[in-house]
Structures are given as structure tokens and as C-alpha cells.
Amino acid sequence: MAPARVETLSSSGLESIPLEYVRPVEERPTDSVLDLTDHGPQLPVIDFAGWHSGDAEERKKIMREIAEASQEWGAMQLLNHGISQSLIARLQAAGKAFFDLPIKDKEKYANDSGSGKILGYGSKLANNASGQLEWEDYYFHILWPEHKRDVANTWPGYPSDYEEVTVAYGREIRKLTAQILGALSLELGLEEGRMERVLGGEELLMELKINYYPRCPQPELALGVEAHTDISALTFLLHNMVPGLQLFHHGKWITAKCIPGALILQLGDQVEIMSNGKYSSGLHRGLVNKEKVRISWAVFCCPPKDAVIGPMKEMVDDQNPPLFPARTFQEHIDYKLFRKNQAKEKATN
């Protein structure tokens, strides 16, 4: 059966959300967490402006900050990252225009994740009888490399400039990916291109997921995205300036501030594994909102499915035994899904 679109539920005017969307008490956002004016600790903001100045000291300082944020938070906000604000505005306008279409028009792009076809317009399927659902619909497609993206069959065909702006954005994110992986490698004492090569070099995969979180009548009971770490190596995130992303830091959920022009960088599992835990993949989740639709654009940078990723040999010695087994990326995906299903079964038995 096709999953119900969360947007359909949201616009039906219901006052209480269906049970599948109600999170267990311990997962629900607490009052203080929903107070998005919290002035507590914030994820690091890193100004990239000096990166291109040619000043070696300036670049070293930025690299140090990236490495520290990667150890401490597994996430950061990047300012002056080099991607033009007009390109970002066009990307966001195109994604929004697609989601502004009537649901029946979006359904032409529907995926079939139940049978493994995950590309296209979708909503989360419950993966067991009492499975929990997330308050979001999404669009998922491959962005990079060029020969792996099937624009004609898997990208939105509307609006007419969707392809042009999204391809251009992908090219910019690919450059930034190389810079960040370079900084992370150098800060581990490795050669600049080391991590990028392990992650597939030219075959490094980038996937775009547009997360669409409709208004929710009971945001205190639901989650847009449940707590998780990304399976990727790096994730770059943009949003429409509606708060909702939270990072778990020192035992507390911290809501990321909305900073105009910033790009959020999350470290995913692959970087944590390769660095043998020197860098951490940040636990995060997404809240929803009663008044406003939230939209985010996540680009997941991943190794190819058959690449074997384990702690890099330079990170392991007698004092630093490997903390993670080497697995193909596909095995890592299967392992995470298996663990999640196991946890769910435990919770429902």
C-alpha cells in the first residue's frame, strides 16, 4: 500500500496526529527544547573567508577549527563557504516550487521504497507492524557523479530550472567536499588527498534529499527525523530558516541557530570510522513546527557501495586498536538497518 503523505495529513485539518507519529515519551521534545530561543551552547561557527586568501597561517587556523568541531560536535556551521547566495536561493526556490505542486502531481515521481526503489518522492514506510513514522515527506536523488544520476527518470521535472541549478549546486558541494576532506586529512597528519581517495575519489557519491516537514498540530509529540547519525562521510545541509535541527551534545539536545548564509556540515559514520574515532559523527534529529513548514536540503557524500571502509592504517597501532570493523559501505547500511530493526523489535516485544 502506498504510504500516506504527511502533507495530506497536515492539510486535512486534524487536531491530533495518528498514533504512528506519536513518539515514545523519552523521545519527545521537552518544553525547554522547543524553546528555540535557548541561549545555551551552540555548534561552532567557522568562517571560511580566509581559506582563499593565500595566507597559509589563516588556512591552518581554519583547518584547526574544523578538526576541533569535528572532534567535539561532529557538526558545524560554515560561513563564507564560497557557494554564492544567489545559487543557494535558486536551489531553494526550485525545491520549494516542486513541493508547492499539488500532491497528485508530485505522486508522478513517487518512489517505491518497499521494493527497494528509493529514488524519487517518498514518505517513510513503517518497517514493522507497530513501526514509528516521521513527520516528513522527501525527495531523494543522486547528484554526483554525473554518470550515476538519471536526471530524466529520477529527478523532478518541475520547475524547468531544477536541473540547471541543482547540477550547479552539486558541482560547488563537490569542491567543498574535497576541501573539507583535505583539511580533515591534514589535521590527522595525513596527506591532503588521503580521505578523498579512500572514499572513492572520482567515484565519491553525492545524494540529495530534500526533506519537507509539513505543519504539525502536535509538534511536542512528533519528530521530523528521529535521532540518528548519518551513514555518509559528510553531509551538507541547508534549510529554509525555520529552526528544527538539533544536535546531541554533552547529554543535551541543542537546537542549531538559523544563521543566514550558513551551510551546516555534519560528519557521518564513514569519517568517524576512517579516523578510528578521532572525529565523531554527530547524533542529531529534526523537530517539527505548528506554524511553519520546514524544508531542508541534505547532500550526503558517501563512498561507492562496494568500497571497504575501516580505520585507516595510520590511525591504528598498539596503543590505538581499531574501534570499528572494516565493512563495505553497503554492509554498513545493512548493519545500521538491522540494528534499528532489532531495537524496534525489542521495544515492541
Ligand X SMILES: O=C(O)CCC(=O)C(=O)O
Query: Which residues are at the interface with ligand X (CB under 6 A)?
Result: 209, 211, 225, 230, 237, 239, 244-245, 284, 286, 296, 298
Residue 154 and residue 141 in contact, taking contact as beta carbons nearer than 8 Å:
yes
Please give the span between the terminal C-alpha atoms of the chain, in angstroms, as a whole number.
25
CA distance 269 to 273: 6
| Residue nearer to Fe ion on the CB measure, 51 or 140 | 140
Q: Measuring CA to CA, which residue among 193, 119, 187, 194 is closest to residue 153?
A: 119
Cβ 41 to Fe ion, closest distance in Å?
Answer: 20
| Residue nearer to Fe ion on the CB measure, 111 or 235 | 235
269 binds Fe ion (CB under 5 A): no
207 binds Fe ion (CB under 5 A): no
In the annotation, is 250 catalytic? no
Residues 6+ apart with CB under 8 A from 56: none
The DSSP code for 124 is P
| Residue nearer to ligand X on the CB measure, 69 or 298 | 298
Which entry of 81, 141, 209, 332 is annotated as an active-site residue? 209
- The residue with its CB nearest to Fe ion is 230
| Residue nearer to ligand X on the CB measure, 185 or 246 | 246
In the annotation, is 209 catalytic? yes
In the annotation, is 117 catalytic? no
| Residue nearer to Fe ion on the CB measure, 190 or 280 | 280
Cβ 46 to ligand X, closest distance in Å?
Answer: 18
Cβ 339 to ligand X, closest distance in Å?
Answer: 17
Coil/strand/helix, residue 9? helix
The full 3-state SS of 19-31, as one line of letters, equals HHHCCCHHHCCCH
Work out what residue 287 binds among ligand X, Fe ion, none; the CB cut-off runs from 5 to 8 Å by kind: none
In the annotation, is 230 catalytic? yes
Residues 6+ apart with CB under 8 A from 349: none
Q: Which stretch binds Fe ion (CB under 5 A): 16-24, 38-46, 48-56, 228-236?
A: 228-236
The full 3-state SS of 170-206, as one line of letters, equals HHHHHHHHHHHHHHHHHHCCCCCCHHHHHCCHHHCEE
230 binds Fe ion (CB under 5 A): yes
CA distance 315 to 324: 12
Q: Which stretch binds Fe ion (CB under 5 A): 34-42, 156-164, 206-214, 230-238?
A: 230-238
Work out what residue 106 binds among ligand X, Fe ion, none; the CB cut-off runs from 5 to 8 Å by kind: none
The full 3-state SS of 34-68, as one line of letters, equals HCCCCCCCCCCEEECHHHHCCCHHHHHHHHHHHHH
136 binds Fe ion (CB under 5 A): no
137 binds Fe ion (CB under 5 A): no
Residue 228 and residue 285 in contact, taking contact as beta carbons nearer than 8 Å:
yes
Cβ 225 to Fe ion, closest distance in Å?
Answer: 6
> Applying CB under 5 A, which residues contact Fe ion?
230
- For the annotated catalytic residues, the residue numbers are 209, 228, 230, 284
